[in-house]
Amino acid sequence: MSEVFTLHRGTVPLLVSLPHDGTVLPDPIAVRMTPAARRVPDTDWHVSRLYKFARRLGASMIVPKYSRYVVDLNRPPDDVSLYPGQNTTGLCPIVQFSGEAIYLPGQIPTPGEIARRVETYWRPYHDALVAEIARIKAEHGRVVLWEGHSIRSVVPFLFDGRLPDFNLGTAGGASCSPDLQRRLVGVLEAQRKYSFVVNGRFKGGYITRHYGDPANGVDAVQLELAQLNYMDEDSFAYNEVKAARLWGTIRALLEEIAPPQRILCGTFMFD
């Protein structure tokens, strides 16, 4: 087990990456932050809990330990904006999604500190992604990298109005095959509980765009969930009832990639 992430190696060609699930702040960084920022409000709360079932499908899963406020694993190491001309946050964010400061006055990270954070926290996660993608592809001939994210349903700093419930991103169709996108959209069209959009405000972050290579057997898809569908957005408390409803649609999406494994026993099939 790495000190900065956990990796579960599965048996099917699906890798679930949850780069904003971490909540830990190292003490030397936390003491320089505002009280509000130390609550790490921009965490993709509870996504590892929502996706726990994916391991039963045979998926691999990688989950970080540290908060995106330490370093954002879904940003490029050179910190080039993924959404030019729009408000966003950077590699080592200095503002929250609310637009408020993360750091106390005079405490923002220096370029040297940012470089050290990249080597300490960012690089190991991405090295593991590269290795696991290669392992799965060598075994199965293909791999789907699924980026699991969530965010508050209303964030005026980042987008207007209320976010759709399911926000599917494929870098405008560049990070996965047309067939896979069509099948995933079909799952969302078949249900009536939740609103959805494809390649809207969230087209996929660095991981989706960088690793998606459908011509060479690597499909990458990002799903950004509106958090009000499974939790209280103010207290960050998980809502079991809402989550149970949401879970069925997430599972249906992943089962398009990795159908439930079945074991033949006598004349019966067991999931």
**Mean pLDDT, residues 16-43:** 98
Q: Which two tokens stand for residue 224?
A: 């950004």
The mean pLDDT value for 48-62 works out to 95
pLDDT of residue 220: 98
- pLDDT of 65 strictly over 60: yes
pLDDT given for residue 260 in this prediction: 74
pTM, two decimal places: 0.93
Can you tell me the mean pLDDT for 20-33? 98
Q: Per-residue pLDDT tens for 72-112?
A: 999 999 877 677 667 678 899 999 999 999 999 999 999 99
Contact 143, 129 (CB under 8 A): no
**Rounded Cα distance, 23 and 184, in Å:** 30
What's the start-to-end Cα distance of the chain, in Å? 29
Class of domain 5-270: alpha beta
| Secondary-structure breakdown of the chain: helix, strand, coil percentages, each rounded to the nearest 5 | 35, 20, 45
Domain boundaries, the chain: 5-270
State the pLDDT at residue 61. 98
Closest CA relative to residue 130, chosen from 17, 253, 215, 3: 17
